[in-house]
């Protein structure tokens, strides 16, 4: 949070004037807030976390954040903590993904001669970039600020759900200006057409159409449409529109591939110019309607307070009652990161652009996009059923609308188009989990029809799965990963079919759920590629991983051989029983990684061959519970939490992945985790705090571990509502009903507590 000394700028601007109102507001607000003060949005902006530090609302359409660079793997969010110059502030960003896109509608204030290109990020002179001192950069939920050294401008950002609100405090200058760069975006995003209209001297509108990460129909098909409307608190004196780098005269409405507009002002010392930028994926008129519907005045501080209040209300669903300040920051930042994605996609009037490129209206729900399902089905969506139950039906209705518009459930949808990134049909466990937890405010028959359509299609190796009951390695890339993930999703379908009385479907998908056994090699003890003729692929190396042709996606056999979350006991049997299973699990965490030269960079956060930086490993530490050795789960979970989650920019061990990396931590810090994300059970671990309260409407689920300490790190017994339990899990209904879960802690392993 802000401290006055951070605003003692050394640039000829009086620090006291710049910070007085902001600082006074923060001192007053801190008295009321409880939880946002523990959030550090810079966690994950370094290393390979790929998060952004800017302002957004929970699940908001706008992510208003600085862009320091727009190409390369560690800049997919547009920002990296290692940079010291800023290109500008754009309105859409991806949170923690492994691939880049968006960075739409970039705004950059400046003074002096107009520059139309950003320039080199290492040399701010000669472009519209500005250097900045990290000491002046501040971020908190719903707010971001930085001092732009080259222009002596204090930039502050906040948002409503669909509107970015900018406040730029300028020095005295007759060459002050604000640039809108519509060509700017992530480098992989191919701009097809942009447009700008100067409506009057305080309102501009425009659009950007591009072909990005998402799959398009043809080469020149725009699968990303975004529209904006920007109002200014002060009329601009003049304007310059540049097309393809050339300034144009006498034009108020221009279209072209590369458009920029510069609005010019005369400013007094410490004069603030405010800009409200509404966005929409429907039209410019809709963007303007969103703007006017959500922010009626020019009170930046009020909108900022409302953003902070909304975040505080969202975060206080879990109350940590412990004195560990550092762990609180890691915990609440993780909880914060779980509520950035999915993104709101429908306008204030409910309209949105569908997967058929037509305009639809979400009549009884909000439409959402950016479902990173290969990641988030594992823990983030199960967490939403506890922390954000009011969103669950909206998310499912959004998925079903995609089915109605495109014929399939989402895989990895991005602003109106499908990327088909990663594998599986993991909308299915999300829907199944919600159904069995009582979330059914959607057409269940339509949902089942959509589920079957995705599971019975003839692409992505599913055509081979239907024929062989596994995906053959000589017919399909990433065959073993696909077999394992399809098997899990098919188990989910079988459970739903059984509940709906669809007997034949239950039998069929139950058989497909056993497909994992068909790619298990009893001689090596690993999952392994099998050819269509039934023989295993020769030359097997369980440590081999590759982005190219291989049996596994973003992992190897060491990491993927454990992915049978729906039938762990069946996997134990395949591996030769509990002793051999346990021995192999022990080996996983001490195995020396024999990395090949093209090993995927996603495989990070290693403990032996366990890779916490990528999702296939996320349930593995909890598997010791299944063989009666819960103390090993406790040891591993604590090690992972302490090693791979810190209060630093590089405090995540891998891509944050739209909330999944953080959801793992939130669950584990509470003392349990959904090994099978759709069976309503949570495998017990060990909490990181002595006491937490989870608020569930008018009920509270209390978690206690009063004797927890660095010495007392092992669970001796577990009590639910005061009664000892002899199982290694709790179920969702027990949480939902409100209960007290107590972990009795001690200094040593208690073999008798093997649940």
Q: Tell me the per-residue pLDDT of 398-414, one tens digit each, with 9 for 90 and over.
A: 999 999 999 999 999 99
Specify whether the CB–CB gap between 106 and 98 falls below 8 A: no
Q: Within this chain, do residues 372 and 307 fall inside the same structural domain, yes or no?
A: no
How many Å apart are CA 434 and CA 398, to the nearest integer?
A: 14
- In this prediction, residue 592 carries a pLDDT of 86
Length of the chain: 755
573-598 residues labelled b (16+ CB within 10 A) or e (exposed): ebbeeeeebbebbeebbebebeeeee
- In this prediction, residue 218 carries a pLDDT of 58
Per the structure, how many domains does the chain have? 2
Q: Within this chain, do residues 167 and 259 fall inside the same structural domain, yes or no?
A: yes
| CATH number of the domain within which 299 lies | 2.70.98.10
Instruction: Give mean pLDDT, residues 703-709.
Output: 97
pLDDT over 70 percentage in the chain: 94
What are the pLDDT digits (tens) for 278-311? 999 999 999 999 999 999 999 999 999 999 999 9
Of 423, 439, 455, the domain-final residue: 439
How many Å apart are CA 340 and CA 144, to the nearest integer?
A: 15
Quick one: tokens of 429? 């466990």
DSSP codes of every residue in 512-568: HHTGGGGGEETTTTEE--B-TTSPBPSS--TT---SSS-SSSSS-HHHHTT--TT-H
Q: Within this chain, do residues 138 and 252 fall inside the same structural domain, yes or no?
A: yes
Q: Is the pLDDT of residue 8 over 80?
A: no
Q: Within this chain, do residues 242 and 163 fall inside the same structural domain, yes or no?
A: yes
Other C-beta atoms closer than 10 Å to the C-beta of 493 total 28
pLDDT band per the 50, 70, 90 thresholds, residue 326: confident
**Looking at the domain assignment, is residue 428 inside a domain?**
yes
Q: Within this chain, do residues 277 and 372 fall inside the same structural domain, yes or no?
A: no
pLDDT band per the 50, 70, 90 thresholds, residue 249: confident
What are the pLDDT digits (tens) for 611-655? 999 999 999 999 999 999 999 999 999 999 999 999 999 999 999
How many Å apart are CA 80 and CA 406, to the nearest integer?
A: 36
- In this prediction, residue 24 carries a pLDDT of 39
Q: Is the pLDDT of residue 595 over 70?
A: no
pLDDT band per the 50, 70, 90 thresholds, residue 593: confident
pLDDT band per the 50, 70, 90 thresholds, residue 219: low
Q: Within this chain, do residues 163 and 229 fall inside the same structural domain, yes or no?
A: yes
Specify whether the CB–CB gap between 210 and 224 falls below 8 A: yes
Instruction: Give mean pLDDT, residues 262-267.
Output: 98
Instruction: Give mean pLDDT, residues 210-231.
Output: 82
**Looking at the domain assignment, is residue 225 inside a domain?**
yes
- In this prediction, residue 323 carries a pLDDT of 75
Instruction: Give mean pLDDT, residues 680-686.
Output: 98
pLDDT band per the 50, 70, 90 thresholds, residue 122: confident
Helix axes 427-436, 444-455, angle to 10 degrees: 150
Cis check for the bond before 577: say yes or no (omega within 30 of 0).
no
Q: Within this chain, do residues 199 and 58 fall inside the same structural domain, yes or no?
A: yes
**Looking at the domain assignment, is residue 295 inside a domain?**
yes
Q: Work out the mean pLDDT of the chain and round it to a whole number.
A: 93
Specify whether the CB–CB gap between 746 and 712 falls below 8 A: yes
pLDDT over 90 percentage in the chain: 89
Instruction: Give mean pLDDT, residues 478-486.
Output: 98
pLDDT band per the 50, 70, 90 thresholds, residue 596: low
Q: Is the pLDDT of residue 33 over 70?
A: no
**Looking at the domain assignment, is residue 153 inside a domain?**
yes
Helix axes 325-337, 660-670, angle to 10 degrees: 130
How many Å apart are CA 744 and CA 755, to the nearest integer?
A: 14
**Looking at the domain assignment, is residue 233 inside a domain?**
yes
What are the pLDDT digits (tens) for 426-476? 999 999 999 999 999 999 999 999 999 999 999 999 999 999 999 999 999
**Looking at the domain assignment, is residue 473 inside a domain?**
no
DSSP codes of every residue in 531-546: -TTSPBPSS--TT---
Q: Is the pLDDT of residue 707 over 50?
A: yes
**Looking at the domain assignment, is residue 177 inside a domain?**
yes
Q: Within this chain, do residues 222 and 292 fall inside the same structural domain, yes or no?
A: yes
The strand pair at 699-704 and 729-731 is best described as unpaired
How many Å apart are CA 597 and CA 599, to the nearest integer?
A: 6
Q: Within this chain, do residues 294 and 435 fall inside the same structural domain, yes or no?
A: no
- In this prediction, residue 250 carries a pLDDT of 78
Query: What domain range is 204 assigned to?
Result: 37-316
Instruction: Give mean pLDDT, residues 35-49.
Output: 98
Of 316, 342, 357, the domain-final residue: 316
pLDDT band per the 50, 70, 90 thresholds, residue 23: very low
- In this prediction, residue 27 carries a pLDDT of 42
Q: Within this chain, do residues 371 and 307 fall inside the same structural domain, yes or no?
A: no
What are the pLDDT digits (tens) for 161-208? 999 999 999 999 999 999 999 999 999 899 999 999 999 999 999 999
Q: Which of 51-55, 79-83, 537-541, 747-751 has the lowest average pLDDT?
A: 747-751
Of 258, 287, 316, the domain-final residue: 316
**Looking at the domain assignment, is residue 41 inside a domain?**
yes
- In this prediction, residue 526 carries a pLDDT of 98
Rounded to 10 degrees, the C-alpha dihedral 603/604/605/611 comes to: 10
Q: Within this chain, do residues 426 and 297 fall inside the same structural domain, yes or no?
A: no
pTM above 0.85, yes or no: yes
- In this prediction, residue 220 carries a pLDDT of 62
Q: Is the pLDDT of residue 594 over 90?
A: no
Q: Is the pLDDT of residue 223 over 90?
A: no
Q: Within this chain, do residues 117 and 259 fall inside the same structural domain, yes or no?
A: yes
Other C-beta atoms closer than 10 Å to the C-beta of 561 total 29
* Tokens 């660095």 -> residue: 710
Which residues are paired to 273 by β-bridges? 168
Instruction: Give mean pLDDT, residues 220-226.
Output: 82
| CATH number of the domain within which 391 lies | 1.20.1050.60
269-299 residues labelled b (16+ CB within 10 A) or e (exposed): eebbbbbbbbbbbbbbebbbbbbebbbeebe
The strand pair at 672-673 and 63-67 is best described as unpaired
- In this prediction, residue 574 carries a pLDDT of 98
């Amino acid at each position: 949070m802000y401290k006055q000394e951070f605003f003692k700028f050394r640039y000829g601007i009086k620090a006291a004037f710049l910070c007085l109102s902001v600082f006074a507001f923060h001192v007053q607000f801190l008295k009321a807030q409880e939880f946002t003060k523990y959030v550090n949005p810079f966690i994950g902006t370094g290393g390979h976390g790929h998060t952004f530090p800017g302002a957004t609302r929970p699940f908001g359409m706008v992510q208003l954040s600085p862009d320091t660079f727009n190409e390369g793997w560690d800049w997919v969010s547009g920002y990296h903590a290692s940079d010291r110059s800023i290109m500008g502030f754009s309105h859409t960003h991806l949170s923690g993904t492994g691939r880049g896109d968006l960075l739409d509608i970039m705004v950059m204030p400046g003074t002096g001669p107009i520059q139309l290109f950003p320039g080199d990020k290492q040399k701010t002179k000669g472009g519209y970039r500005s250097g900045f001192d990290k000491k002046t950069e501040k971020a908190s939920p719903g707010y971001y600020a930085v001092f732009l050294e080259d222009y002596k401008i204090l930039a502050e950002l906040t948002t409503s759900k669909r509107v970015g609100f900018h406040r730029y405090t300028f020095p005295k200058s007759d060459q002050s200006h604000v640039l809108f760069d519509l060509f700017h975006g992530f480098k992989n995003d191919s701009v097809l057409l942009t447009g700008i209209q100067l409506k009057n001297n305080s309102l501009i509108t425009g659009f950007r159409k591009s072909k990005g990460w998402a799959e398009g129909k043809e080469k020149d098909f725009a699968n990303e449409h975004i529209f904006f409307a920007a109002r200014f608190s002060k009329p601009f004196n003049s304007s310059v529109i540049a097309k393809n780098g050339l300034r144009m005269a006498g034009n108020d409405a221009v279209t072209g591939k590369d458009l920029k507009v510069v609005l010019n002002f005369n400013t007094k010392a410490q004069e603030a110019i405010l800009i409200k930028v509404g966005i929409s994926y429907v039209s410019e008129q809709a963007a303007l309607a969103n703007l006017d519907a959500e922010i009626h005045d020019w009170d930046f501080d009020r909108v900022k307070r409302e953003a902070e209040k909304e975040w505080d209300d969202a975060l206080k669903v879990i109350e940590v009652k412990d004195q560990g300040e550092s762990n609180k920051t890691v915990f609440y930042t993780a909880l914060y990161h779980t509520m950035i994605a999915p993104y709101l996609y429908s306008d204030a009037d409910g309209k949105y652009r569908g997967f058929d490129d037509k305009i639809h209206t979400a009549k009884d729900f909000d439409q959402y996009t950016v479902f990173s399902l290969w990641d988030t089905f594992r823990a983030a969506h199960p967490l939403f059923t506890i922390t954000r139950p009011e969103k669950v039906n909206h998310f499912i209705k959004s998925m079903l609308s995609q089915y109605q518009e495109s014929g399939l459930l989402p895989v990895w949808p991005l602003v109106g188009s499908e990327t088909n990134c990663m594998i599986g049909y993991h909308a299915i466990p999300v829907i199944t989990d919600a159904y069995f937890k009582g979330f059914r405010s959607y057409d269940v028959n339509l949902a089942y029809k959509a589920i079957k359509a995705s599971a019975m299609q003839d692409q992505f190796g599913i055509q081979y799965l239907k024929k062989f009951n596994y995906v053959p390695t000589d017919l399909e890339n990433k065959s073993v990963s696909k077999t394992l993930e399809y098997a899990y999703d098919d188990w989910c379908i079988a459970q739903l079919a059984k509940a709906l009385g669809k007997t034949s479907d239950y039998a069929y998908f139950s058989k497909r759920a056993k497909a994992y056994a068909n790619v298990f090699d009893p001689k090596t003890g690993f999952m392994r590629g099998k050819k269509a003729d039934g023989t295993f692929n020769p030359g097997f190396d369980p440590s081999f991983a590759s982005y190219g042709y291989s049996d596994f996606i973003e992992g190897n056999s060491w990491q993927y051989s454990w992915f049978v979350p729906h039938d762990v006991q069946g996997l134990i049997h395949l591996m030769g029983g509990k002793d051999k299973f346990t021995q192999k699990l022990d080996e996983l965490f001490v195995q020396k990684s024999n990395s090949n030269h093209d090993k995927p960079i996603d495989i990070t956060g290693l403990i032996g061959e366990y890779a916490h930086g990528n999702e296939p490993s996320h349930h593995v530490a909890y598997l010791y519970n299944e063989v009666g050795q819960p103390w090993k789960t406790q040891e591993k979970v604590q090690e992972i939490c302490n090693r791979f989650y810190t209060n630093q920019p590089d405090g995540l061990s891998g891509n944050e992945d739209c909330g999944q990396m953080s959801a793992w931590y939130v669950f584990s810090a509470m003392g349990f985790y959904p090994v099978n994300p759709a069976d309503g059970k949570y495998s017990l671990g060990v909490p990181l705090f002595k006491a937490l309260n989870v608020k569930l409407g008018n009920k509270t689920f209390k978690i206690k571990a009063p004797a927890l300490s660095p010495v007392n790190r092992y669970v001796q017994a577990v009590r639910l509502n005061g009664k000892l339990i002899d199982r290694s899990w709790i179920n969702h209904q027990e949480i939902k009903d409100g209960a007290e879960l107590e972990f009795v802690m001690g200094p040593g392993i208690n073999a008798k507590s093997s649940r």
